[in-house]
Homo-oligomer: A and B are copies of this chain.
């Protein structure tokens, strides 16, 4: 049985405010929980329904009823395992390789996909503006598929960060320089902007280069989705 205060605490973690206050976040589902358990992220508590409990590799797993799980879960159909983990301390952002910067990405699905892309392309540091969606948002976590444990995600003022970093800064713009015309350096900063508004004026002014993905179809007004564009640009960066 889960005591009332514990239930209340865990339910509160669906909101960013309480995640920050308690320094904890929730992961749901056996596969995702196992991935986090096998990383450096410290577990606070892991709950599992009886039929699945033996499959969870945590040192201690609390038995939970389906009713209790439903109360804690953010999913319509909770799938038997829920882990609560300590939010890791962000590490120092090193300028040894390419760094990805996000300027106010709002959509949790995009954020999750981008974290997964960083993991795939070995981008170790992801620097986000303070208004970018929280990476411990449950919808983000659902889309990251465990990659969250392998990428150092930092939230800070992008003006301060970009002014302090000694790397060339490439901003992704619709009317930027076509990527095939650029010779990309071995390390640098790639900035991706908000879904609707693109890169903010403040951040634009700090970009040394503009970069764009050439369009081959009929010229339409639509841009590529920010996660899709990030995929193409990260692949281009790793090509060099």
Min Cβ gap A10→B in Å is: 27
- Give the residues in chain B near A222, CB-CB below 8 Å: 116, 119-120, 145-147
Among A86-94, A156-164, A228-236, the one that faces the other chain is A228-236
Give Cα A150 to B147, complex, Å. 35
Give Cα A220 to B148, complex, Å. 12
Give Cα A222 to B144, complex, Å. 10
Give Cα A218 to B213, complex, Å. 27
Given known contacts A119-B217, A150-B218, A216-B120, A228 and B113 CB-to-CB distance under 8 angstroms: yes
Q: Interface on A for B, CB 8 Å cutoff?
A: 109, 113, 116-123, 145-147, 150, 180, 213-218, 220, 222, 224-225, 227-229, 231-232, 235-236, 238-239
Min Cβ gap A143→B in Å is: 8
Most B C-beta atoms less than 10 A away, residue of A118, A150, A216, A236: A216
List the 6 shortest-distance A-B pairs measured between CB atoms, nearest first: A122-B217, A122-B216, A228-B231, A232-B235, A121-B216, A231-B231
- Give the residues in chain B near A215, CB-CB below 8 Å: 120-121
- Give the residues in chain B near A220, CB-CB below 8 Å: 119, 146-147, 150
List 14 A-B pairs, Cβ < 8 Å: A113-B225, A113-B228, A116-B222, A119-B217, A121-B217, A122-B216, A122-B218, A145-B222, A146-B220, A146-B222, A147-B222, A229-B231, A231-B231, A231-B232
